[in-house]
Amino acid sequence: MQQVTIELPTTIINALAAYNQEHKVSSSDTVQTAIESFLIAKGYLSKPKKSFHLSPAPKGSGYTDTSINHDAVLAEITACFYID
């Protein structure tokens, strides 16, 4: 990673220090995130791709055969949301 030195007005420095203290982050992380957001908004940088993650059902969810009978399980779950 390369290092860049910039000059900022006192008002921005003070605001940056207050933000960093409140959120417990470094100035470097805050400035890097801000520049990345700016470049994405202006179209100079593409959004980072988020990986797709499926989390397993918690133990004791009551369903042991969801992978086989997924339609029946889904029908049972959605039926709970509809009241006649």
Alpha helices in 3-69 (DSSP H): 10-23, 27-42
The answer to whether 30 touches 20, Cβ cutoff 8 Å, is yes
Q: pLDDT digit string (tens) for 26-64? A: 999 999 999 999 999 999 999 888 888 877 767 766 667
pLDDT of residue 26: 94
pLDDT at res. 5: 94
Indicate the pTM of the whole model.
Answer: 0.54
Q: Give the distance, in angstroms, between the CA of residue 16 and the centroid of all CA atoms in the same chain.
A: 22
Judge whether 19 and 30 are in contact, CB under 8 Å.
yes
Length of the chain, in residues: 84
Highest mean pLDDT among 13-17, 51-55, 66-70, 74-78: 13-17
User: What single DSSP character describes residue 14?
Assistant: H
